[in-house]
Structure 1
Amino acid sequence: AGATEPAEPARDATDDRRVAIIGVSLRFPGADSTDQFWANLRDGADNVRRLTPEELTRAGLTAEQRDAPDLVPVGGTLDGVTEFDARFFGLSPHEAGLTDPAHRLFLECCHQALEEGGYEDAGAETRTGVFAGSGMNLYGHQRPSGATGQPISADAPAGADPALGLQTAIAREPDFLATRVAYRLGLTGPAIGVQTACSTSLVAVHLATRALLTGEVDMALAGAAAVHFPQETGYRSHPGSILSPTGVCRAFDAEADGTVGGNGVAVVLLKRLDRALADGDTVHAVILGSAVNNDGARKIGFTAPGVAGQADVIRQALRDADVPAGTISYVEAHGTGTPLGDPVELEALARVLGEGERTAGACAVGSVKPGIGHLDSCAGMAGLLKTVLMLRHRTLVPTLHLNRPNPELALSNSALTLVSRLGPWSVPDGTPRRAGVSAFGVGGTNAHVVLEEAPPAATAVDEDEDGNARLPVLVPVSARDDDTLAELTARLGERLLRRPELAPADVATTLALGRRRRPARTTVVGGTAEELAQALAASAGERTDPPRPLGPLAFAFPGQGTARPGMARGLYAGSAAARRTLERCAEV
């Protein structure tokens, strides 16, 4: 302590161990998209809600259970958990009915993450891995099977159909979460289940990055699903429990009395940064390094947190990232709001990030849990995606319900400061924004990931070197049927109106090469995002017949008395295929 940190070493371009986040999908309380999640974070929305007596009754609670003095009827719930397009994923209604809703939502999120990254149709030759975990399964024990009307139980009665028992186990046990995704989406990389309690999703990210860096996979999906079905049950709190008796998670606050439960599903699509940049992928953020360890016996009990283990995993992650601790300007903490957990975590952070000569308050600390609840196995992913969005928007969002810092946190003259209000994420000129994300599981498996903001994206060029406007582009859209196509074109048009800066050529490339071609199809033409949106609105889901296989392309210039020098200059500048053809003609 007190020693000056060495200058940051130059990174060897031939051994780039950075990993890019190129696709994201989430279902959190109050949000089913990154745009909505960011709006909730920015606006300080509290999506942990109080459950009504009617909801508790529908969830199966008796009058006695509803009126129990220790029942806390709150939770972070998801909308539409029973909705699922089984036919889209090739499941029968019977199989879909048996399958845990958490597994169904995870399958949907994996598909959406591939779509968002532009790799839904990457093909079996691209080795895409799946690293995933799920929360405690309650689905089979809490609801009847839609196929048989009989309760699903791990202990089948005598004479029960053994095939149905096996099918039921496959449909709901965590062993099959990752492999179901690989099968249904045609992914040929390793599909591995991860179970480390609250740190599951961040451990999955760590394992996925290792598989990328060793060359075992070309891309990787990593995430977790935690949906406690039915959701609207609340919880019972008792003295000494980690669950808040007041039903409010107040991370780092003097009135903190525990955490609250929540449900969530989230997935990231990962790829080595050098390959992502070479392939023109959208990079949301960069993973510089990560680490996983366990407390061992260095703590007071199996479920207790440990300072030494947490500090060690942060140091290991920084070494893996090859960056000094002094360059970390934000940490998304585990931040459960428990009287023991918060002080232990802040002490561990201070031991590592407070080392060296750092200005008081140089590193901000926050927690997402007060706004959405503790998402169990998906908790680390919630913190990761919150941090990715803050890096993208260069903004720090407040930790909810933080009114008066807990005096046991010892923050005076510390390098750590708590984020209690919305504000810019400021760093010295020339210094990239860097952050740490922590997740600590019951039982002692700790995980920490070091993030950095994405490198500047290439600016879309709307004109060629002579100032000529780029040519309009042809954008294909396809869906399973006409109704879905109409919905898809409407949503795409709305997206383009919200993002007028999107380059039409990028939109066309993603939709033509990053999506599967489905039977109901339409095409639109436009030179700007707004023009494409207008064309989509006009198409209103018009159906075009599936095209016949095309032969070799030919470019024809018929003349008709309009030929002039330079007439193909725009086509030459805007189309690589046309450029190659014209250059070949010139050679001939």
Structure 2
Amino acid sequence: MTQGSDMIQDAIAIIGVAFVLPEADHLSALHDNLSAGRVSVRPPAAGRIRHAGGDPDAAYATCAYLDRIDMFDHAYFGLSRREAEFMDPQQRIALQLSHQAIENACYAPGDLRGSRTAVFLSAPYPRYASLFTEPDPQQILGTIPSAAPARIAYLLGLHGPVLSVDSACSSSLAAVAMAVRELRRGETDLALAGGVSLHTVLHPRDSVDELPGVLSPKGRCRPYDTAADGSVAGEGGGVVLLKPLGRALADGDHIHAVLRGVAVSHNGYRATSMSAPSQDGQADTITAAWQDAGMPLTSAGYFEGHGSGTPLGDLVEIAGLQRVLDGASAQAPYWLGGVKGNIGHLDHASGMAGLLKVLAGLRHRTLYPTAHFTTPHASMQSDSTVRVSDVPRPWQRREAEQPRRAGVSSFGLTGTNVHAVVEEAPRSARPAPAGTRAELVTVSAASPAALERYTRRLSDFAATTEHRLPEVAHALNRGRDDRRYRLAVVARSITDLSEALAAATPREQPVPPTAPPVVLLFSGDSTVARVDDAAWQRLCTELDATDGTPGTAGDGAAARLLRRQHALHQILDALGLDTGRLVGSGPGNLAVRVARGRMSLTEALEKTAGEDLTDTVNDEGLGRAVRGFTRSGAILVEVGGDGVLSRRIRDLEPDLPIVPLPADQGRHGVLTTLARLYELGAAIDWNCAYADSGIARIEAPTYPFEETSCWYGPQPGPRGAAGPRPDARP
């Protein structure tokens, strides 16, 4: 599928996805559940009843509950446990999902700090506050809905517009629509959008009978079925990271799908009451969204409806969709479905649930069965081209060269209608890298336990992924923040990576909170000058390096030393290491002067004529330097392997870390040095290291947040400890 400029201008790419739905937290699991027609509605578990302060012997309404909503990694975000306990769990989930959505897009969250990234989030007013038995100032920011997107922006350092969106059931899809429009205006670079909905207070079983036609007395939501008798509650949340399609393609982003058009409107006087649905209002919204997309509504292969399973709601929705498709001729039907039969009605997050279902279907090219559906609603005309999807089936294109498209509807209780046009992602134009050379792969976490868990998860990922080693290395190096507990391995293949991670023993000591300085040592008698030409050329070839100027047969030992030390300095610089701190001795001082820009390489080479590698060291000056290295916690790198500077420094201060940079072990040896520096806490500019790589971004496992119970009430363990802030390298 090629993309013309006229088709790209207003299109918005979904480049990051994170969600938690009942029994699914990634698209493959959601696909499996939907394909099997799995229904996640059940009574509350004993732990949920206890957290809600309920009676363990009472009967409560069924719901598609999430598990472990009390768990939250407060320390990762620099929050005390007490502050986290006063946070509505909808806030906590939204924060972690936003972080995961950014990582899912293969961006390090820290790289977005200070960016024009917007946050549009929806969540119902929390009833969590009803559990509080003591006053605390943190209750306000912990429970007001506007604090949820604000906390995300505050803790992640985002500078775009931040808004809490509330249009009842259509809120989360409205948040997505607002993000699309903000990005189109060009005043925002990226946007996080989505919604979360939880039921922290349980409802008695007999309360269902008080709302006939709204809640199903049988506890089954049957979208578009003639036996539909009401909806069922559900829980969940999802966040997407959005970016203009043109920029996403240029940046090599992984694109889940494309938002082509959106529309938001209100029923106004066309409904019999503010809470009643309107056929005209819904039909107009659907039509407007496809007009916004600039494509015919008849190009859709599927419609994910609101599908509340209420007799009136389904009646009006079916009539509205049949109206906009009235007279449309098609060889294949327009399929209609609704996810609420599987996971219930997610209230403010229901539109996001529908969008996630479409994303799963586009990825797996599958149309899913509508749970509990057996007989079409009586309002469905026998000759209608709209059919309810009743079995899993391949999602066929309507035309051979046309991308798969879907419409997603979400209609709010108070009359706000939202529709979005979603299209499958264009094929990546970037070829996969060859993957035939060694790569450095880094893993980090905010605690030893999280690092060990992440390492094992990544080992399993490497064992099963179809991606090549350079893509995985790029995702984990460039697409993740560097935390204080670190591991780095050098692998030659994706299988080698899986085995290396499985066998690794992560360090239990954290690196310093501030990156230690790295000092390069250029000894005048460095062994780099004695590396044979074949080994040296192999290193230069594998690292795309050069000596800087053509050598001559008359080059002496000092010229050879200078060329090679200069080349190694450039290699480290290209790999993203800060190479500004330099110490030289004897002929090595020429390499230092070239590196600092005080003379050109050609000028320095002229000074080497006739010189040998006899070296001298100013012991007094070196002693002062070593004392400074010790105070600053510096890491030293002997450029070329071994030399007089590292030997003298070991005599003066044996505990100073000195890492050799060999020149006779090719790319693998250089990356092994970089791995050691990373594990010691050195800062590596991954954006610099991958600036010209051309490697596309891929999906890889996101950070494994620790699970600490942060439910309000008596809990074991200290409540006051806070972790370091995210900008303090936790």
Offset of residue 526 of structure 1: 2.2
Equivalent of 2:534 in 545, 551, 562: 562
Could you tell me whether the CA contact under 8 Å between 1:226 and 1:375 is conserved in 2? yes
Q: Matches of 1:413 and 1:549 in 2, distance apart?
A: 74
Q: Matches of 1:220 and 1:553 in 2, distance apart?
A: 45
Query: What's 1:284 paired with?
Result: 256
Q: Matches of 2:221 and 2:493 in 1, distance apart?
A: 46
The answer to whether residue 271 in structure 2 is matched with residue 299 in structure 1 is: yes
Offset of residue 459 of structure 1: 6.0
**Alignment CA distance shift 1:497-1:45 (3 Å):** farther
Q: Matches of 1:470 and 1:487 in 2, distance apart?
A: 28
Letter in 1 for 2:100: Q
Could you tell me whether the CA contact under 8 Å between 1:290 and 1:320 is conserved in 2? yes
Offset of residue 568 of structure 1: 5.1
Q: Matches of 2:601 and 2:288 in 1, distance apart?
A: 58
Query: What's 2:438 paired with?
Result: 472
Query: What's 1:425 paired with?
Result: 395
Query: What's 2:621 paired with?
Result: none
The answer to whether residue 123 in structure 2 is matched with residue 134 in structure 1 is: yes
> Which digits, 9 at most, give the CA deviation of each residue in 1:81-138, with x for residues without a partner?
0011111111122211111111111111111111111221223342111001111311
Letter in 2 for 1:48: V
**Alignment CA distance shift 1:25-1:565 (3 Å):** closer
The answer to whether residue 347 in structure 2 is matched with residue 376 in structure 1 is: yes
Query: What's 1:43 paired with?
Result: 36
May I ask how many residue pairs the two structures share in their alignment? 543
**Alignment CA distance shift 1:550-1:194 (3 Å):** same
**Alignment CA distance shift 1:571-1:366 (3 Å):** same
Which has the higher Rg, Structure 1 or Structure 2? 2
Could you tell me whether the CA contact under 8 Å between 2:54 and 2:202 is conserved in 1? no
The answer to whether residue 15 in structure 2 is matched with residue 26 in structure 1 is: no
Q: Secondary structure at the match of 1:450?
A: strand
Letter in 2 for 1:496: A
**Alignment CA distance shift 1:404-1:280 (3 Å):** same
Equivalent of 1:211 in 176, 179, 182: 182
Equivalent of 1:503 in 468, 482, 494: 468
Offset of residue 277 of structure 1: 1.2
Offset of residue 362 of structure 1: 2.4
Q: Matches of 1:36 and 1:553 in 2, distance apart?
A: 52
Q: Secondary structure at the match of 1:256?
A: coil
Offset of residue 537 of structure 1: 0.7
Equivalent of 1:453 in 421, 424, 432: 424
Q: Matches of 2:506 and 2:536 in 1, distance apart?
A: 39
Offset of residue 497 of structure 1: 2.4
Query: What's 1:109 paired with?
Result: 97
> Which digits, 9 at most, give the CA deviation of each residue in 1:403-450, with x for residues without a partner?
11122222x222211111111001131111000000000111000000
Q: Matches of 2:364 and 2:103 in 1, distance apart?
A: 22
Could you tell me whether the CA contact under 8 Å between 1:489 and 1:540 is conserved in 2? no
Q: Matches of 1:557 and 1:251 in 2, distance apart?
A: 76
The answer to whether residue 502 in structure 2 is matched with residue 537 in structure 1 is: yes
**Alignment CA distance shift 1:330-1:526 (3 Å):** same
Letter in 2 for 1:516: D
Equivalent of 1:88 in 63, 67, 76: 76
Q: Gapped runs of 5+ residues in structure 1?
A: 1-8, 145-149, 152-160, 464-468
Offset of residue 343 of structure 1: 1.7
Equivalent of 1:198 in 150, 169, 192: 169
**TM-score, normalised on structure 1?**
0.86
Q: Secondary structure at the match of 2:218?
A: coil
Could you tell me whether the CA contact under 8 Å between 1:77 and 1:232 is conserved in 2? no
Could you tell me whether the CA contact under 8 Å between 1:244 and 1:257 is conserved in 2? yes
Equivalent of 1:396 in 367, 371, 381: 367
Q: Secondary structure at the match of 1:174?
A: coil
Query: What's 1:154 paired with?
Result: none
Could you tell me whether the CA contact under 8 Å between 1:75 and 1:232 is conserved in 2? no
**Alignment CA distance shift 1:552-1:36 (3 Å):** farther
Query: What's 2:455 paired with?
Result: 489
Following superposition of structure 1 onto structure 2, how do residues 135-214 of structure 1 map, counting pairs within 5 Å?
A: 135-141=124-130, 143-144=131-132, 150=133, 164=136, 166-214=137-185
Query: What's 2:237 paired with?
Result: 265
Could you tell me whether the CA contact under 8 Å between 1:478 and 1:520 is conserved in 2? yes
Q: Secondary structure at the match of 2:72?
A: coil
Query: What's 1:336 paired with?
Result: 308
Query: What's 1:237 paired with?
Result: 209
Offset of residue 238 of structure 1: 3.0
Could you tell me whether the CA contact under 8 Å between 2:160 and 2:188 is conserved in 1? yes
Letter in 2 for 1:491: R
Q: Matches of 1:445 and 1:283 in 2, distance apart?
A: 29
Could you tell me whether the CA contact under 8 Å between 1:472 and 1:525 is conserved in 2? yes
**Alignment CA distance shift 1:275-1:343 (3 Å):** same
Offset of residue 510 of structure 1: 2.4
Offset of residue 491 of structure 1: 1.4
Following superposition of structure 1 onto structure 2, how do residues 338-377 of structure 1 map, counting pairs within 5 Å?
A: 338-359=310-331, 361-377=332-348
Q: Matches of 1:366 and 1:585 in 2, distance apart?
A: 69
Equivalent of 2:413 in 437, 442, 456: 442
Q: Matches of 1:128 and 1:200 in 2, distance apart?
A: 20
Q: Matches of 1:421 and 1:375 in 2, distance apart?
A: 23
What's the RMSD between the two structures over aligned residues? 3.0
**Alignment CA distance shift 1:252-1:241 (3 Å):** closer
Q: Secondary structure at the match of 1:524?
A: strand
Query: What's 2:587 paired with?
Result: none
Q: Matches of 1:266 and 1:61 in 2, distance apart?
A: 28
Query: What's 1:157 paired with?
Result: none
Q: Matches of 1:231 and 1:498 in 2, distance apart?
A: 41
Q: Matches of 1:537 and 1:252 in 2, distance apart?
A: 49
Q: Matches of 2:139 and 2:303 in 1, distance apart?
A: 41
**TM-score, normalised on structure 2?**
0.70
Query: What's 2:564 paired with?
Result: none
Query: What's 1:466 paired with?
Result: none
Q: Matches of 2:104 and 2:161 in 1, distance apart?
A: 21
> Which stretch shifts more, 372-381 or 176-185?
176-185
**Alignment CA distance shift 1:389-1:551 (3 Å):** farther
Q: Matches of 2:7 and 2:407 in 1, distance apart?
A: 25
Letter in 2 for 1:535: A
Offset of residue 231 of structure 1: 5.2
> Which digits, 9 at most, give the CA deviation of each residue in 1:183-208, with x for residues without a partner?
11111111111000000000000001
Q: Matches of 2:224 and 2:96 in 1, distance apart?
A: 35
Q: Secondary structure at the match of 2:210?
A: coil
Offset of residue 385 of structure 1: 0.7
> Which stretch shifts more, 48-57 or 319-328?
48-57
**Alignment CA distance shift 1:402-1:318 (3 Å):** same
**Alignment CA distance shift 1:211-1:558 (3 Å):** farther
**Alignment CA distance shift 1:367-1:552 (3 Å):** farther
Q: Matches of 1:568 and 1:323 in 2, distance apart?
A: 52
Offset of residue 565 of structure 1: 8.1
Q: Secondary structure at the match of 1:335?
A: coil
Letter in 2 for 1:528: S
Q: Matches of 1:531 and 1:394 in 2, distance apart?
A: 32
Q: Matches of 1:83 and 1:199 in 2, distance apart?
A: 27
Letter in 2 for 1:423: R
Q: Matches of 2:416 and 2:95 in 1, distance apart?
A: 26
Offset of residue 550 of structure 1: 4.2
Offset of residue 245 of structure 1: 0.8
Letter in 2 for 1:286: V
Could you tell me whether the CA contact under 8 Å between 1:81 and 1:101 is conserved in 2? yes
Q: Secondary structure at the match of 1:344?
A: helix
Q: Matches of 1:578 and 1:31 in 2, distance apart?
A: 44
Could you tell me whether the CA contact under 8 Å between 1:136 and 1:226 is conserved in 2? no
